[in-house]
Structure 1
Amino acid sequence: MFWYFIYFIVLIAFYQLINLIYRRWIVREEPTQSTAILITGGAQGLGRETALIYAQKRCKIAIWDIKYDLLDKVKSEITQAGGTAYCYKCDISDRQEVENTARRTLDDMGKIDILINNAAIATHLHHDEIKENHFRKLHEINYLGHAWVTLAFLPHVRHITVIASVLSFIPALKESDYCASKAAINAYFSSLRIELKARKSPVKVTIVYPYHIFTKMFNDMKFGHVKYLLPSQKPGDVAKAIYNGICEKREEIFVPGYAKVLCLIALSFPSEVRDWGNELLFRDACESLKPLAYN
C-alpha cells in the first residue's frame, strides 16, 4: 500500500510538471493591442488591478461598475498605463440593463475577446441578521449578475473568467450569504465549462479561487497570528495570477497555488473536524469584520 501511495504522488508530480510546460511554453497566448477585455466591477480593487495589467499590454478595456464616480479615475489610469478605456455604469443585477449595456459595449468596441466577471458585494452579517433585500441583492450581483453578463456575451467571446473564492469550498462565520453565492458561481461555471466542451465550443472558461484578498471589502479583517500561516493576498498579485492563468488557458486558478491543496486536505476530514479547525483559526478574524449594507 505504501508503494502505491508513492507511485500516486510521483504520478501527480509528473503530471503537474508536464502541465506546467504545456501551459507556460506551448499554449500560452499573450494579448495584443487588438484584444478587447470586459471587466465587471473594474473601477476598484481586484478589477482595477487586472485592468491595469491589460492596459500595460495596450489592450482595449471595457469597465463596468455601478459606482459612476470612480469610472473617470480608472479610465484615466488605464489610458496612462497605455490601454484604451471604455467605461459604463451598469448594475449587473438588472438583466435588462446588462443586455442594454452589452449592446452599447459591442457597438463601441466591435468585439469582446475576454470577459472577466469580477463584481461582488458582501454583508458580513450572521445569517439571522441579514435583511431580505440585502440577501437578494447580494445573490443578484454575486451570482445571477455574472450569469446575465455571461449569457449576453457568450456568442461573442473567446474566454470567460469568473472570480469565485476558496469560500466556495470552505465556509466562514458571518459569510453564509457570500459563501453561498461563491459556491453557486463555482457550480454554474463548472457546469457551463462542461456543456461548452460537450458542444465542441472554442470558448474557454476559467474559475478563480482566491484566498483572502486585501481589498476594501475585507480590509478590516484582523487575522492575528493566522496571518503568518496564511497571509492575505495583495490585489496586484492576484491580478497577475489571473492574467497568467488566462494567457495559459487554465481552467482553475487557486491563489495562492497551495490553496487548492489546503482545500483538498480540509475536505478530507469529517465536518466536525473541519468546523473545529475553522473556529480555531478564523472565528476572531470573521467576527472582526464590520457589517456592510447595500440599498
Structure 2
Amino acid sequence: MIMFLLRPYMHYLFILFIYLFIYLNLSLILPLRKSVRGEIVLITGASRGIGRFIAYEFAKCQSKLVLWATTKHGIEETAEECRKLGAEAYAFVVDCSKREEIYRAAEKVKSQVGDVSILVNNAGIVVAADLMATEDHEITKIFEVNILAHFWTTKAFLPAMMRVNHGHIVTVASAGGLKALPFLVSYCSSKFATVGFHETLTQELATLGNDGIKTSCFCSAGVNTGFVKNPSQRFLPLLEPEHVANILMEGILTNQKMIIVPPILKVTLMLERFLPECAVAGVRKLSEIKFDVAVGCRDKGK
C-alpha cells in the first residue's frame, strides 16, 4: 500500500537519495571549514583545562577573545598567551554560578568589546561523591554553573546573533551527559540537561528560521583536567585537554552538531540501547572510569 502511494514520487525520492548520499560522503571526506577570523568569541571557564586550550585555538585563528573565569591570575595567564599568539584578548573575572553577575559582565563585554558572535559555554564543576555524601549547596552550585549559566549567557548574547542571523553557540557537555556514571549523580544530571539544552535550542533556532546561527555540543570521556582525583579508564588512556580542544575546534569550524570523543563512545552508547541488561553491565565494565570518591562522608577509592 505504501509503495503504491509513493510510486508517483519515486523518481524524486531517488534523486533526493542520490543527493544526500553525495552530500554526506563529500562532507565526511572534504568538510567545509569556516573562518572565525575577527569573530568575537566568549569562552567561560577559560583559566584552565579545555577552556584554556580552546582559547589558544581561537587565538591561532585570529579571533577576538573574551575570556571569563573565577580566578584573576588564571584568566590573565590565558589572555596573555592568546596575545602572544597574535589575538586580541580581554579577561573578565566572572562567577558563572551567579546570574546577575553574568548579566552585568555581559553588558560590559558589549560596551567594551562588541557583540559576541561565538559563545563557548565551557565552565563546569564536579563533586565526586555518592548522592548522600553530596551537600545540598554543592548540588545547587553544580546546577548553577553546569546548566543554568548556559541559559543566562545565551539569553545575554543570542539576541545580537539573531538580529544578523549569524553566530555559533557551543555547549561543552560530557560523556556523563549521555550515559550515567556512579558517584556523579549531580554532575551527570546537570550534563544530561546541557545536552537537552543544546538539542532543544537547535530545534528552536531552526523553527525560527535562524539557520545562520550554528550550534555544537561536545561530549568527551575522561579528560585529565584535575577536577577529580586519580582518574583512570580500563582500556583507554585519559585524554589530554590540548588534544580534546583540537578536536572541539575542528568540530566548531565544520559546524558539527554533536562532537563525541573518543569515537568508540558512540559504539558503546549504541550497544547500551539494544543489548539486554546483563550484556549492558558488561559493556559498562569495559568502559569503566575510576576515580577517588567520597562515600557516605568517608574517602574511599571507587
TM range (shorter): 0.7 to 0.9
1:214 CA drift (Å): 1.1
Structure 2 Cα separation of the partners of residues 279 and 128 of structure 1? 24
Matched residue count: 272
Deviates more, 1:158-167 or 1:253-262: 253-262
Given that residues 220 and 289 in structure 1 are in contact (C-alpha distance below 8 angstroms), is that contact kept between their aligned partners in structure 2?
Answer: no
Trace 1:77-116 onto structure 2 (pairs within 5 A). 77-116=81-120
Q: Does 1:261 align with 2:229?
A: no
Structure 1 Cα separation of the partners of residues 94 and 21 of structure 2? 40
Counterpart code for 2:33: R
Gaps of 5+ in 2: 1-18, 162-166, 296-302
Match of 1:222 among 228, 232, 252: 232
Question: Normalising by the residue count of structure 1, what TM-score does the alignment of the two structures yield?
Answer: 0.85
Q: Secondary structure at the match of 2:119?
A: strand
Given that residues 163 and 207 in structure 1 are in contact (C-alpha distance below 8 angstroms), is that contact kept between their aligned partners in structure 2?
Answer: yes
1:22 CA drift (Å): 2.6
1:95 CA drift (Å): 1.3
What is residue 284 of structure 2 aligned with on the other side? Answer: 278
Given that residues 268 and 283 in structure 2 are in contact (C-alpha distance below 8 angstroms), is that contact kept between their aligned partners in structure 1?
Answer: no
Structure 2 Cα separation of the partners of residues 200 and 261 of structure 1? 33
1:30 CA drift (Å): 2.1
Counterpart code for 1:181: S
What is residue 196 of structure 2 aligned with on the other side? Answer: 187
Distance 1:132 1:219, change over 3 A: closer
Cα deviation code 1:177-205 (max 9, x no counterpart) = 11101101111210110011011112111
Structure 2 Cα separation of the partners of residues 24 and 150 of structure 1? 33
Match of 2:41 among 37, 57, 61: 37
Counterpart code for 2:206: K
Trace 1:131-280 onto structure 2 (pairs within 5 A). 131-157=135-161, 158-201=167-210, 202-218=212-228, 220-223=230-233, 226=234, 229-279=235-285
Structure 1 Cα separation of the partners of residues 24 and 286 of structure 2? 36
What is residue 27 of structure 2 aligned with on the other side? Answer: 22
Q: Secondary structure at the match of 1:147?
A: helix
Cα deviation code 1:197-227 (max 9, x no counterpart) = 011112111111111111121362133xx1x
Gaps of 5+ in 1: 1-13
Given that residues 24 and 248 in structure 1 are in contact (C-alpha distance below 8 angstroms), is that contact kept between their aligned partners in structure 2?
Answer: no
Match of 1:130 among 134, 138, 143: 134
Structure 2 Cα separation of the partners of residues 129 and 18 of structure 1? 51
Q: Does 1:119 align with 2:123?
A: yes
Structure 2 Cα separation of the partners of residues 92 and 124 of structure 1? 20
Structure 2 Cα separation of the partners of residues 20 and 246 of structure 1? 19
Distance 1:65 1:90, change over 3 A: same
Counterpart code for 1:19: L
Distance 1:272 1:108, change over 3 A: farther
Question: Normalising by the residue count of structure 2, what TM-score does the alignment of the two structures yield?
Answer: 0.83
Q: Secondary structure at the match of 2:154?
A: helix
Counterpart code for 1:74: T
Given that residues 60 and 85 in structure 1 are in contact (C-alpha distance below 8 angstroms), is that contact kept between their aligned partners in structure 2?
Answer: yes
Distance 1:105 1:20, change over 3 A: farther
What is residue 300 of structure 2 aligned with on the other side? Answer: none
Structure 2 Cα separation of the partners of residues 15 and 68 of structure 1? 49
1:21 CA drift (Å): 2.4
Cα deviation code 1:95-117 (max 9, x no counterpart) = 11111101111112112111100
Structure 1 Cα separation of the partners of residues 170 and 254 of structure 2? 13
Distance 1:131 1:59, change over 3 A: same
Calculate percent identity across the aligned residue pairs. Answer: 25
Q: Secondary structure at the match of 2:288?
A: helix
What is residue 78 of structure 2 aligned with on the other side? Answer: 74
